[in-house]
Structure 1
Amino acid sequence: MATERAIFAGGCFWCMVQPFEEQAGIQAVTSGYIGGEISDPTYEQVKRGTSGHYEAVEILFDPTLYKYTQLLDLFWPQIDPTDPDGQFHDRGSQYRTAIFYVNDEQKELATKSKIELESSGRFKQPIVTEIKPATTFYPAEAEHQQFYKTNPAYYKTDRKASGRDEFIRHHWE
């Protein structure tokens, strides 16, 4: 079985696991941190917004069953790509959106998808989601993995309060 890796920052990583995990061909989705200045950051360090890290998800997928372009098509409707300061009720640099490419093909496909979104007219504001080279991805602590499954009541309450689903319905459906 072939395995490739993709990394997306879409605000709170708790909300980014389930949409990807439910797809055939996805082997694993791990919540974690990328892009900061310190090694092995903790949730508390990242949450303070001073480490430079993004909350992100690392996706291992079988490209013969699920293409990278399909991951991109699923990523964009999970976020507000026009918000430079976070996502929904989560504010701060750690909640910015980005696509972290692991090879030149991913960079090319991510750039193309961003250009297509910009030219679609779906949003009046500029698309600010960055496309950046992947650096070291640090898995988050165990209590943050599969959070929607291990803490379903809290997850549902937090997600509803965030405004993410309302935004998705208004802008993407």
Structure 2
Amino acid sequence: MKYEKATFAGGCFWCMVQPFEEMPGIINVRSGYTGGHAAHPSYENVKNGHTGHFEAVQITYDPQRFPYQQLLDLYWAQIDPTDDGGQFHDRGPQYRTAIFYHQEDQRCQAQTSKEAIEKSGKFKGAPIVTEILPATTFYEAEEWHQKFYKKQPEAYKEDRAASGRDAFIHKYWHADE
């Protein structure tokens, strides 16, 4: 059995774990930092925007059970791909969106999916600013960040509700359901 990795930045990594973790074929989802210039960044360094890192999740998955295209579809439906200043109430470069590809096939699929969203008209001509970048070193976040939605369910629910993420997702990704 050959597992693969996918890495996505979608704003606060707390909100990016649960949607993926609950899918069949997902082996592991870890919160962390990637794409920056500092080795072994801490949450405080990344949060302050001093390292160039994105908050991200790295997903280990079984491509036979959950293909990369399904990961992309699920990823897009968690974010506002038109916001280059962060995501929802989390502002700053560390909260921008990006797809970090681990192999050329992932890059091609990511690019095709981005183009499809641009052509869909879903965002009324607003540019899709989510970057597609080569994967670099992924640094796991501190243990208290891992599976935060399970460890601190009330704090997670409050933060998610206050952020505006769920309202956006419903309006743009699930309105016709």
* The two structures share one fold, judged by TM-score above 0.5: yes
Query: For residues 35-54 of structure 1, what are the alpha-carbon distances to aligned partners after superposition, in whole Å with 9 as ceiling and x for unaligned?
Result: 11100100000000121000
How far apart are the structure 1 equivalents of 2:98 and 2:89? 17
Alignment correspondent of 2:162: 161
Write the distance in 1 (CA, Å) between the matches of 2:173 and 2:104: 28
Q: Which residue of 1 aligns with 2:139?
A: 138
Q: How does 1:58-137 map to 2 (within 5 A)?
A: 58-124=58-124, 125-137=126-138
Q: Which residue of 2 aligns with 1:11?
A: 11
Q: Which residue in 2 is equivalent to 1:47?
A: 47
Task: Kindly indicate whether residue 24 of structure 2 is the aligned counterpart of residue 30 of structure 1.
Answer: no
Instruction: Please give the secondary structure, in 2, of the residue aligned with 1:65.
Output: coil
Q: Runs of at least 4 residues of structure 1 off by over 3 A? A: none
Q: Hey, what's the Cα distance between the residues in 2 that align with 1:141 and 1:36?
A: 17
Q: Which residue of 2 aligns with 1:151?
A: 152
- Counterpart AA for 1:91: R
CA distances 1:140-172 after superposition (whole Å, capped 9, x unpaired): 000000000000000000000000000001111
Paired residues in the alignment total 173
Deviation string, structure 1 residues 85-116 (Cα, Å, up to 9, x no partner)? 00000000000000000000000000000000
Amino acid of the structure 1 residue aligned with 2:23: Q
- Residues 54-89 of structure 1: CA deviation (Å, up to 9, x unaligned): 000000000010000000000001000000000000
- Show structure 1 runs of 5+ residues with no match: none
| TM-score normalised by length of structure 1 | 0.99
Pairwise CA RMSD: 0.4
